[in-house]
Amino acid sequence: MNIKNMLFILCVILAQTLAACGAEAPADPAAIAQNFYKAVNEGDIDAAMALVADDIKCRGSCYITGIESLRAYIQGGINANGKTEISALKVEGDTVTYNWMAYSKEGFLEARGVETLQIKDGKIILMESQAFQ
């Protein structure tokens, strides 16, 4: 075996090793949305915020910029013991759109609407929510 063939084989092995160690599959926007609301519904603010970018923007039903502002906003919902259900998820590229329904701790429907999340590098960078009457 000549040196060129050996170098080629080593490069292929190195590329495969690096890909196996560091390459992640692109984050699924639907899974991120589901995991975010699962964490919120379980009262796990840290797990929810782990899915949010530091410079998140929330628009529509809220006008918030930054993870700490969103943390305070979401914590208020957690403290009220409400639950949010999401359904009819539709993914287009790096965005996911879904219907949401918010319930009181007693189980009464309080609000419903449509929300879109934009995802970048596995984190929510934009949350746009519209509530219906």
Domains of the chain: which residue ranges? 26-132
Phi, psi of 36 (to 5 degrees): -60, -50
Query: What pLDDT was estimated at residue 111?
Result: 92
Query: What pLDDT was estimated at residue 92?
Result: 96
Provide CB contacts within 8 A for 63, sequence distance 6+. none
Query: What pLDDT was estimated at residue 1?
Result: 52
In tens, the pLDDT along 43-102 reads 999 999 999 999 999 999 889 999 999 999 999 989 988 899 999 999 999 999 999 999
Provide the pairing of β-strand 52-60 with 123-132. Answer: parallel
The CATH-assigned architecture of domain 26-132 is Roll (3.10)
- At 56, is the secondary structure helix, strand, or coil? strand
> CA nearest 31: which of 115, 112, 103, 119?
119
Distance CA 84, CA 119 (A): 20
In tens, the pLDDT along 3-59 reads 544 434 443 343 444 344 444 445 799 999 999 999 999 999 999 999 999 999 999
